[in-house]
Structure 1
Amino acid sequence: MKALSDFVKSGSQKMTADDLKLCIRQDSYLEALSDLLSPLNPSIILAEICADKCRFMDSKMKPLWLMYNPGAQEDMVGIIFKKGDDLRQDMLTLQMIQLMENLWKKEGLDLRYSGSSCLQQLLMLFNNERRSANLTPSRTHRMIPYGCLSTGNKMGLIEVVKNSDTIANIQRNSSNSAATAAFNKDALLNWLKSKNPEDKLDPAIEEFTLSCAGYCVATYVLGIGDRHNDNIMIRETGQLFHIDFGHFLGNFKRKLGINRERVPFILTYDFVHVIQQGRTNNSEKFERFREYCERAYKILCRNAMLFVNLFAMMKAAGLPELTSFKDIQYLKDSLALGKSEEEALKNFKVKFNEALRESWKTKVNWMMHSLAKDNRP
């Protein structure tokens, strides 16, 4: 896979997907890339690589998109090989999102174990996992912490989430111009309608609402940066999820000295349009979404020291954006460590309103990203 990645990058602008497929069809590559246990899920056998369905993505690192027939399993399995980014940071972020999901599922339990160490709390949390499975769907925030594995220095594998697409593609396919695509508030709702006809639409919107609430809180608390519309995806079932966590703990990207991300988290009016089922006067649905966000945030604040301690233990790993205790200060601030729950919630409400009020800045950022992508040679 590393050799394939180097081959793609060496071809620069002239390289095409057909060149990659031709390379994979060579006997040496077919033999090396077939009949493998998936490193992301050892219960899956990657029986036969499907060269015709393989490609490389058009992002900066040119990740490989490799598709497999998994033998006895029915559906094809996709893995992404990425070389050039430290995926350990992605792994840590995804593990924290999974931990948040577990905490939210147990919101009826008091997880502030007095006198327990951070590791003891973590063990208790995972030992109680089975009990959380009986909670009703309305009490969960449907997150998708997809598989991610660092396999070497700045390289690794990422799971392909099937039946999903990026916000950017959905917007682009519903508009004739990249300049206006990001401002089409009907694109997401119309896409969900096309994938979920009739009585399937309401459950899909509910999935969107819950997952959007979860990721609004998670990305704010962890300070996730680089949130353009190619880094946010939606499954056909309605679940929204974020990808690519190369920037966290408030390390937001800058362009020409200007902070490109000037909102606490992503909550655009087209997201609100879906949550309100396309009706501008459906404030009840939006207020319910706001309550989900506030409840999720309060639960994380009650467990602030768990997250702070876990990040502190990872400091010695040498992650690009987690090298000192100073880097963890963002987490302490976002979780309002040392403040009362009332003060913490008051601050979050300010951030929530700011994210909604300033969402037009997110749209401008998405438009610039789409234009830059379309103009890429």
Structure 2
Amino acid sequence: MEEYSFANSSALDFPVNVRIGSLEGQYEPPSFSTLLRRPDLRHVGSNTSPNSDLYVTAQLWAGSKPLTVPVQTAYRSFKIGRTWNEWLELPIKISTLPLSSQLAITVWDLSPTGGKGAHGHAIPFGGTTISLFDKDSTLQKGRQKCRLYRHEAADGFSSTTTPAIPSAQRNRGGNGFRNGNSASPEGEELERLEKLFKKHEMGEIPRVDWLDKLVFTAVEKQRQLVETSARVSSKATRKLSTPRPEVESNDANSGEDGKEEERYTLLIDFPRFDFPIVYTDHEYAPPTISSQAHHAPPTGNVTLKPPPEVQLGPGINGTGNGVSDDDENSPPLIRIYDPEVGAKDNPAESKHRRLVRSHRTGVLDRDLKPNAKIRDELNTIVSYGPTQELNAEEKDLVWKFRHHLTRDKRALTKFVKSVAWHDQSEARQAVQLLPKWTEIDVDDALELLGPTFDNAAVRAYAVDRLRESDDDELLLYLLQLVQALKFEKISPELQNDSTQDSSLARFLISRATRNLMLGNFLHWYLMVECDDRSPDQVKEHRKLFAKVEFDFMTELMKIPEGAERRKTLLRQGELITVLSKISKEIRFSREDRPRKLQRLKKYLADPKNELTSFDPPLPLPLDPSISIVGCHPEESLVFKSSLYPLLIHFKTPDGKKYPIIFKTGDDLRQDQLVIQIISLMDRLLRKENLDLKLSPYRILATSANAGVVQFVPSMSLAAASAKYKGSILAYLRANNPDTTADLGVRPSTMDIYVKSCAGYCVITYLLGVGDRHLDNLLLAPSGHFFHADFGYILGRDPKPFAPQMKLCKEMVEGMGSSTSPHYAAFKSYCFTAYTTLRKSSNLILNLFSLMVDANIPDIKVEPERVVEKVRERFHLEMSEEEAMRHFEGLIVDSVGSIFPVVIDTIHNMMQGLRA
């Protein structure tokens, strides 16, 4: 079958529109004898001038009832022909239209004396009725030719007397207008050409200008011949027939000299769409299906509910809707909802599964050993990534050899996926087998805490594995573990002690109570989620996090130093509140930047804000290992940015300074996630003795639109390139000179620069970081290269033709050149880092799977594809050698790409204009 694209009418949430085009037809003025006999016709507008003023009304009908009030065209004075070219909007949306909708269009003439069907001084010039949906239930679109019935107002009845296409003509499928008894070969050919003209107008037939002109001229001549032949034939027929005088006397607007020969066509236009619009009705959700089976019939004096009433929808119980469309006497087709269809398993498959997993063979399964072929199949299944689903045969195979697989720690997640948890006996066997399994790794434990695993015993087993992690390792996963609370069965009501039923909540509260660092970040992660009142944050989730925070504070008060720690967290909250207030006032003040800076220093030095000194020292929320005793108001700064971030230098007890950036109006949770993943990857690389000198600065979101960022003294590549005449190497040489070393730069500094460039190139590629330009690529005097501003991740980028990895010529020039040994070492570090991180891909993918419900901009765009986007960058289907060649191709493409150079140039020009 060919691909067919269409849209549903229920998706069009905008009003019905129709354009009234022009009126075409032949005008025959009444004879003088008629005017003498009928003086009331002398003042009718259309009889006084062939271009008299007319107006048009349109009204929507369905089921012989009006759906809207009539809408009317504006006044227009006609000089040559009657052409309105005016769009009318009806007060009803397309999504609510019934299938039988018809548009009744009436052209009104002016008559001071009134007449048949008169509304005040207006009488019908003619009317027509057109269906909005054709015989295929498709919405009409484009140009439409409607036959106008003279002296009749359009009616919208189901059996209308003013159809735009007469019934005899509709049966033949034509679009032209002719009487049923005048079907000449020339007329049929003209109808066929009119169909082709409509396709040509809709763009379905390619345009050829010189050929189109010839065809249009020939068809117009053919049309004139057909119309002339029809008029002659009609006059001859009229002369042979005997007119009925009673009809003439009753029709006040008809004459006796051929006025019935007037034939008019009204041209209208419906909106055009790229796809056909197929009618769809509102679908109600099926009734809920009870999971409780009724095995025994009711006994005793029990009142039974009446059987459900079956309602027949439109067109089901009517005639002509039977099995055969040709047989009008065939019985009606009745559709009844069966709740068992699609809700229960296939009986044959269910029987097969029960036989394969028969509990009577449970004892025999313990000693069952796979042969070589089955062992290879099991190894293939066990090697699947966390996103790979198992089919029915694979699940049965894993279940059959479950006892053999207990020796393989990688097989546990596949075994959990293979269990039919709705089967109580099978679920009981699976839970009993969990403690016998070889201890799993952390990445598998995180997978078991994901949204697809809801069994409490399985989640508790995963938490038990996490208990063996030290506090530093747990801190790397804490952000995801807080999000995993959404998948726990926790009641949000404060009165309910439901966190005792959640092993994950109890574990986090217990570890955070014992460790200051964990408790600090758990508190702020929970507070941010409680503060998020955006539509994307579910109300129940806010209550859930508030419940966990309440229980954490309650548990904190049970330890000796708990009251002091709780007071510390409250003081941190007061500090963030004051900074947020100051930041908002400076941000929204209508002053230039120097005056904003003066205002900031004044606020920081104001004794009412209590920011110049803290007693006792306060652990910094961004880094609780750092205690602060006040700030330096005179060294503060307001950055040149649309949100005007604040740079504040805090004092430490040993006299040092700790600079931070405080920002409001921006959600920093996405940047916080990226920095957390970079820190995790740095730890994974160090485990493999690969220190790439990464320097992930700290970020802490303090609310849904504010946060704190660690300030690292550095210079952007754009600024360094401008200051040192386009040479990053000159920047390194100026800050770390060594005349005896290669390139005049201290070897340790060059080593740091090369390694950090390689590390960030690999990591930003894996995370799909976008919007990379020279202003968010930073370089510290020590040679540490790093990225900032992670507003676009997972492959999103606001710039066209952006490379998958950012490696600009300025970075390569800092290594000497593309032919220097430092550049060769850079590529070697890239290959090693990429292959090393591929080995830990399951851990990184599971961390992202726990974030699918997080209210993070680039995740909520396509939450169902988040893990897949990251997995694609690992290219796990490649061997290690193929992966290295792939990454080498990325390096070549990034260095040789011309589009990033153009984009960086345009960005620098815009920044210069903004400055």
TM-score category (smaller protein): 0.7 to 0.9
Q: How does 1:222-237 map to 2 (within 5 A)?
A: 222-237=767-782
Cα deviation, residue 367, structure 1 = 2.4
Query: In the alignment, is residue 144 of structure 1 matched against residue 695 of structure 2?
Result: yes
The one of 646, 651, 655 equivalent to 1:64 is 646
Quote the residue 1:330 is aligned against.
869
Q: Secondary structure at the match of 2:904?
A: helix
Contact 1:90–1:148 (8 Å) recurs in 2: yes
CA distance in 2, matches of 1:202, 1:141: 15
Cα deviation, residue 171, structure 1 = 2.1
The one of 827, 840, 863 equivalent to 1:303 is 840
The one of 174, 177, 191 equivalent to 2:731 is 191
Cα deviation, residue 32, structure 1 = 4.1
| 2:912 counterpart letter in structure 1 | D
Say which is worse superposed, 223-232 or 7-16, in terms of deviation.
7-16
CA distance in 2, matches of 1:346, 1:20: 53
Quote the residue 1:112 is aligned against.
none
Q: Secondary structure at the match of 1:151?
A: strand
Q: Secondary structure at the match of 2:857?
A: coil
Q: Secondary structure at the match of 2:647?
A: strand
Cα deviation, residue 23, structure 1 = 2.9
Contact 1:322–1:328 (8 Å) recurs in 2: no
CA distance in 2, matches of 1:244, 1:12: 26
CA distance in 1, matches of 2:606, 2:899: 48
Q: Secondary structure at the match of 2:586?
A: helix
Quote the residue 2:573 is aligned against.
none
Quote the residue 1:165 is aligned against.
715
Q: Which has the higher helix share?
A: 1
| 1:234 counterpart letter in structure 2 | L
Quote the residue 1:355 is aligned against.
894
Contact 2:605–2:611 (8 Å) recurs in 1: no
Q: Secondary structure at the match of 2:790?
A: coil
Contact 2:716–2:779 (8 Å) recurs in 1: yes
Query: In the alignment, is residue 366 of structure 1 matched against residue 913 of structure 2?
Result: no
Q: Secondary structure at the match of 1:338?
A: coil
User: For each residue in 1:343-364, what CA deviation from the matched residue of structure 2 results, as whole angstroms up to 9, or x when unmatched?
Assistant: 3333222212101111x43333
Quote the residue 1:23 is aligned against.
603
Cα deviation, residue 78, structure 1 = 0.4
Query: In the alignment, is residue 41 of structure 1 matched against residue 623 of structure 2?
Result: yes
Residues 1:13 and 1:350: Cα distance change in structure 2 (over 3 Å): farther
Contact 2:593–2:640 (8 Å) recurs in 1: no
| 1:292 counterpart letter in structure 2 | Y
Quote the residue 2:584 is aligned against.
6
Contact 2:699–2:709 (8 Å) recurs in 1: yes
Cα deviation, residue 339, structure 1 = 3.3
Q: Secondary structure at the match of 2:625?
A: coil
Query: In the alignment, is residue 289 of structure 1 matched against residue 829 of structure 2?
Result: no
CA distance in 2, matches of 1:20, 1:367: 34
CA distance in 1, matches of 2:844, 2:756: 21
Contact 2:812–2:818 (8 Å) recurs in 1: no
Say which is worse superposed, 225-234 or 164-173, in terms of deviation.
164-173
Q: Which runs of 5+ in 1 are unaligned?
A: 108-134, 176-183
Cα deviation, residue 342, structure 1 = 3.2
Query: In the alignment, is residue 207 of structure 1 matched against residue 746 of structure 2?
Result: no
Cα deviation, residue 155, structure 1 = 1.0
Using structure 1 for the length normalisation, give the TM-score: 0.81
CA distance in 1, matches of 2:623, 2:644: 24
User: For each residue in 1:271-290, what CA deviation from the matched residue of structure 2 results, as whole angstroms up to 9, or x when unmatched?
Assistant: 112223xx6642x3222211
CA distance in 2, matches of 1:280, 1:309: 37
| 1:262 counterpart letter in structure 2 | A
Quote the residue 1:91 is aligned against.
672
User: For each residue in 1:308-359, what CA deviation from the matched residue of structure 2 results, as whole angstroms up to 9, or x when unmatched?
Assistant: 111011112221111312133221111113333333333222212101111x
The one of 806, 811, 834 equivalent to 1:266 is 806
| 2:644 counterpart letter in structure 1 | K
Cα deviation, residue 202, structure 1 = 1.7
RMSD, matched Cα: 2.0
Q: How does 1:233-272 map to 2 (within 5 A)?
A: 233-254=778-799, 259=800, 262-272=802-812
Q: Secondary structure at the match of 1:287?
A: helix
CA distance in 1, matches of 2:818, 2:823: 10
Q: Secondary structure at the match of 1:321?
A: helix
Say which is worse superposed, 62-71 or 217-226, in terms of deviation.
62-71
Cα deviation, residue 141, structure 1 = 0.7
Cα deviation, residue 303, structure 1 = 1.8
CA distance in 1, matches of 2:840, 2:716: 32
Query: In the alignment, is residue 101 of structure 1 matched against residue 101 of structure 2?
Result: no
Q: Secondary structure at the match of 1:250?
A: coil
Higher relative contact order (CA 8 A, sep 6+): 1
Residues 1:201 and 1:101: Cα distance change in structure 2 (over 3 Å): same
Contact 1:65–1:79 (8 Å) recurs in 2: yes
User: For each residue in 1:231-277, what CA deviation from the matched residue of structure 2 results, as whole angstroms up to 9, or x when unmatched?
Assistant: 111111101011121211111124xxxx2x6112221222112223x
Say which is worse superposed, 337-346 or 45-54, in terms of deviation.
337-346
| 2:773 counterpart letter in structure 1 | H
Quote the residue 1:153 is aligned against.
704
Cα deviation, residue 161, structure 1 = 1.4
What is the aligned-residue identity percentage?
29
Q: Secondary structure at the match of 1:315?
A: coil
Contact 1:312–1:325 (8 Å) recurs in 2: no
Cα deviation, residue 12, structure 1 = 4.2
Residues 1:371 and 1:28: Cα distance change in structure 2 (over 3 Å): farther
Contact 1:167–1:230 (8 Å) recurs in 2: yes
The one of 342, 361, 365 equivalent to 2:881 is 342
User: For each residue in 1:128-186, what CA deviation from the matched residue of structure 2 results, as whole angstroms up to 9, or x when unmatched?
Assistant: xxxxxxx4xxx311111111111111211111113x222222123235xxxxxxxx2x2
Q: Secondary structure at the match of 2:805?
A: coil
CA distance in 2, matches of 1:154, 1:191: 36
| 1:6 counterpart letter in structure 2 | K
Say which is worse superposed, 333-342 or 189-198, in terms of deviation.
333-342
Cα deviation, residue 369, structure 1 = 2.0
Quote the residue 1:314 is aligned against.
851
The one of 764, 770, 792 equivalent to 1:219 is 764
Contact 1:148–1:157 (8 Å) recurs in 2: yes
CA distance in 2, matches of 1:21, 1:374: 28
Aligned residue pairs total: 325
Contact 2:729–2:815 (8 Å) recurs in 1: no
Q: Secondary structure at the match of 1:229?
A: coil
CA distance in 1, matches of 2:749, 2:888: 26
CA distance in 1, matches of 2:632, 2:781: 24
Contact 1:249–1:328 (8 Å) recurs in 2: no
The one of 637, 662, 671 equivalent to 1:81 is 662
Residues 1:318 and 1:280: Cα distance change in structure 2 (over 3 Å): closer
Contact 1:224–1:249 (8 Å) recurs in 2: yes
| 2:753 counterpart letter in structure 1 | F
Cα deviation, residue 20, structure 1 = 2.1
Cα deviation, residue 221, structure 1 = 0.5
